[in-house]
């Protein structure tokens, strides 16, 4: 359950940054991304999948959230 | 010699790896790569930030070096105590040439060494009392000190001293910030973790100090220069460009920086990051907590400077954007003259770099402005995100080497035959004795600044001075030189 900082990059996409793992990836898709809720399964450009319980209202980025691995 | 092809470079890596035992070969192979610009993510081609192999020559530092030497050390109005035995502080004292203004020993302490000088009894009975006494002494001897940081050396972590408790107690007593930093040398694989620990200490003990205090008058043009250590005056050469653009530089981190500047940084409008590796952590934190955006910039060489100035200006209104163009135009004659003078002397020369932090990718632009080509680059302590940024800067089929060992670097140089090597003091004399021109690129070979337009002129002069030095023609003893007629015959044949 790593702490993940989500921030916007210059192009407006979302970056997924895990400080401990020194990992910075772009988010490819988010399961729920509506004006009311944000979250669910998140897929990164490297193919890994992560899960977070949907948050409503959507958080203001940048912010730190706790994600779970959804791979297995 | 012409540039190596992809296969040739790959073969070169294989050849160099041949001497290692199987296990070491497997490990080192992951750290050496041929650059391929089509790769988006460096982790597919190169592994970084791993423990160095025992038995190989590495030039990495330790977490203490990253915290005391790089991040905290240059903050001039604080005393940084090297807490532990005397050596760590004394042998690294003032080596990085972080310039500053002030009266050393009165209101600034940059080049001084403060240590608790641990003896056997301190290891056995603990050094907390000594630390408290030391802090009280510093306050008495240097009343103008603005704060104190306690930089732990290895024994502090090993014997489990509670430096946090001492710091809190003394901080209350002196009414000055005292920052305990848990940067024991054994933490992590290189100085990189020291940077992170130092950033975290700043986050926990400094950044929040002025929350809710609105007495500082802000302007819409406030910026902070982060990750510029003012080596040879670099930060000053950068700062004037920003100020000419109409921006107000509130803080310099940490070259020629002060504690007050750091405390005020959350109030700026934009954080400008030069050394991404050592200061990205605190920038990310400020973005999250205070909503201060950050951007990376590069002030090496006119092409990159112009690019960066425009990128910085894009964050502000049209006046600043117009000013940025004015600044670029103002210096155009100056840097064009530098290029006209030195480019013919340096055109086509090939460079190999092996340094730390930001330089392996940031200086590429400056070399290219002089018509030179960087054929190999590598970092001592980079992480994957640094290589992500490097791949795009480097040409195809050039060499990338992470935490390169002494042996590998020498072999690469023998095969690639660069005209110039830029690396550290530990490599300098080996390569000079091999007859290869060398610049010590950690602290600009005691020259500098290299940042900004002013720095570029010095950079070009230094590179010319090194490569075209007549001494390289005198590497062979006179009696070993071929006779007059013979030399021309060889030249004609090849």
**pLDDT tens digits, one per residue of B2-51:** 578 899 999 999 999 999 999 999 999 999 999 998 888 888 889 999 99
Phi/psi region, residue B262 (left: phi>0; alpha: psi -120 to 50; beta: rest), is alpha
**Partner residue facing B281 (CB), from A19, A23, A63:** A19
* Catalytic residue positions of B, numbered: 62, 65, 96, 195
Cis peptide, bond prior to residue A62, ω within 30 of zero: yes
In degrees and rounded to multiples of 5, residue A71 shows phi and psi of -65, -45
Q: Is B279 exposed, middle or buried (0-12, 13-18, 19+ CB in 10 A)?
A: buried
Torsion sign over Cα B222, B228, B233, B234? negative
| CB-CB under 8 Å, B288 with A5 | yes
Strand B399-402 relative to strand B32-34, pairing: antiparallel
Q: What are the extents of the domains in chain A?
A: 3-69
Task: Give the CATH number of domain A3-69; options: 3.10.110, 2.60.40, 2.40.50, 1.10.150.
Answer: 2.40.50
pLDDT score, position B484: 65
Q: Which of A22, A28, A47 to probe by mutation at the B interface, max B CB count within 10 Å?
A: A22
Cα–Cα distance for residue pair B424/B494, rounded to 1 Å:
34
| CB-CB under 8 Å, A17 with B284 | yes
**CB pairs A-B closer than 8 Å:** 23
- Comparing B187 with B477, the larger pLDDT belongs to B187
List, in order of start, the domains of chain B with CATH numbers.
1-60+347-494 (3.40.50.1980), 63-210 (3.40.50.1980), 222-327 (3.40.50.1980)
Q: And the tokens for B320?
A: 């600043």
Element (H, E) at B403: none
Is it the case that residue B448 has pLDDT exceeding 60?
A: yes
pLDDT score, position B1: 47
ipTM score of complex: 0.89
Rg (CA), chain B: 24
Question: Is the separation of the CB atoms in B391 and B366 below 8 Å?
Answer: no
pTM of the full structure: 0.93
Is it the case that residue B408 has pLDDT exceeding 90?
A: yes
Cα–Cα distance for residue pair B116/A58, rounded to 1 Å:
51
Interface of B to A at Cβ within 8 Å reads 40-41, 49, 196, 281, 284, 287-288, 383-385, 388
Rg (CA), chain A: 11
| CB-CB under 8 Å, B287 with A7 | yes
Q: Which of B287, B297, B381, B387 to probe by mutation at the A interface, max A CB count within 10 Å?
A: B287
| CB-CB under 8 Å, B281 with A62 | no
Read off the pLDDT band of A33 (50, 70, 90).
Answer: confident
The mean of the pLDDT values for chain B is 94
Q: Write the pLDDT tens digit of every residue in B68-82.
A: 999 999 999 999 999
Q: Which of B39, B41, B388 to probe by mutation at the A interface, max A CB count within 10 Å?
A: B41
pLDDT score, position A35: 87
Strand A3-8 relative to strand A14-18, pairing: antiparallel
pLDDT score, position B488: 65
Is it the case that residue B266 has pLDDT exceeding 60?
A: yes
pLDDT score, position A1: 78
- Chain B residue with Cα closest to A45: B41
């Amino acid at each position: 359950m790593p702490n993940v900082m989500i921030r916007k990059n210059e192009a407006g996409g979302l970056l997924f940054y895990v400080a401990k793992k020194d990992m910075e990836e772009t988010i490819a898709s988010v399961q729920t991304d509506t004006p009311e809720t944000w979250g669910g399964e998140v897929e990164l450009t490297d193919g890994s999948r992560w899960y977070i319980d949907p948050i409503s209202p959507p958080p203001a980025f940048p912010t730190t959230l706790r994600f779970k691995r959804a791979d297995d | 010699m012409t540039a190596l092809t992809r296969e040739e470079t790959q073969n070169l890596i294989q050849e160099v790896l041949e001497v290692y035992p199987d296990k070491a070969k497997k490990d080192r192979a992951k750290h050496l790569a041929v650059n391929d610009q089509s790769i988006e993510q460096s982790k597919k081609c190169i592994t970084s930030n791993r423990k160095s192999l025992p038995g190989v020559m590495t030039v990495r530092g330790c977490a203490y070096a990253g915290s005391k030497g790089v991040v905290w050390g240059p903050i001039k109005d604080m005393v940084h105590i090297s807490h532990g035995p005397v050596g760590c502080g004394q042998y690294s004292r003032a080596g990085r040439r972080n310039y500053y203004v002030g009266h050393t020993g009165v209101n600034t302490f940059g080049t001084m060494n403060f240590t608790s000088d641990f003896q056997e009894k301190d290891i056995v009975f603990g050094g907390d009392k000594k630390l408290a006494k030391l802090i009280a002494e510093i306050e008495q001897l240097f009343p103008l000190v603005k704060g104190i940081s306690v930089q732990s050396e290895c024994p502090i972590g090993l014997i489990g001293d509670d430096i946090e408790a001492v710091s809190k107690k003394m901080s209350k007593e002196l009414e000055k910030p005292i920052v305990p930093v848990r940067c024991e040398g054994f933490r992590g694989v290189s100085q990189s973790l020291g940077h992170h620990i130092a950033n975290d200490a700043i986050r926990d003990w400094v950044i929040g100090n002025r929350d809710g205090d609105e007495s500082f008058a802000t302007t819409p043009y406030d910026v902070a220069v982060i990750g510029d250590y003012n080596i040879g005056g670099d930060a000053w050469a950068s700062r004037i460009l920003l100020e000419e653009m109409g921006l107000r530089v509130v803080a310099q981190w940490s070259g020629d920086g002060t504690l007050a500047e750091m405390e005020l940084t959350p109030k700026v409008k934009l954080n400008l990051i030069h050394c991404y590796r050592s200061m990205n952590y605190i920038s990310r934190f400020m973005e999250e907590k205070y909503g201060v955006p950050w951007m990376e910039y590069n002030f090496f060489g006119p092409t990159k400077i112009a690019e960066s100035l425009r990128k910085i200006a894009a964050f502000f209104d049209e006046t600043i954007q117009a000013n940025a163009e004015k600044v670029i135009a103002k210096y155009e004659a100056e840097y064009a003259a530098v290029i006209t003078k030195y480019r013919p002397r340096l055109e086509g020369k090939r460079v190999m770099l092996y340094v730390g932090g930001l330089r392996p990718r940031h200086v590429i632009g400056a070399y290219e402005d002089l018509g030179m080509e960087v054929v190999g680059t590598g970092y001592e302590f980079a992480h994957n995100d640094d290589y992500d940024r490097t791949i795009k800067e480097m040409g195809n089929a050039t060499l990338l080497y992470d935490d390169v060992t002494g042996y590998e670097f020498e072999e690469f140089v023998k095969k690639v035959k660069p005209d110039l090597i830029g690396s550290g003091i530990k490599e300098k004399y080996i390569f000079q004795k091999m007859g290869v021109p060398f610049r010590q690129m950690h602290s600009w070979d005691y020259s500098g600044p290299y940042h900004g337009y002013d720095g570029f002129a010095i950079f070009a002069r230094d590179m010319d001075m090194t490569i075209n030095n007549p001494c390289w023609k005198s590497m062979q003893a006179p009696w070993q030189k071929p006779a007059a007629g013979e030399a021309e015959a060889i030249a004609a044949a090849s």
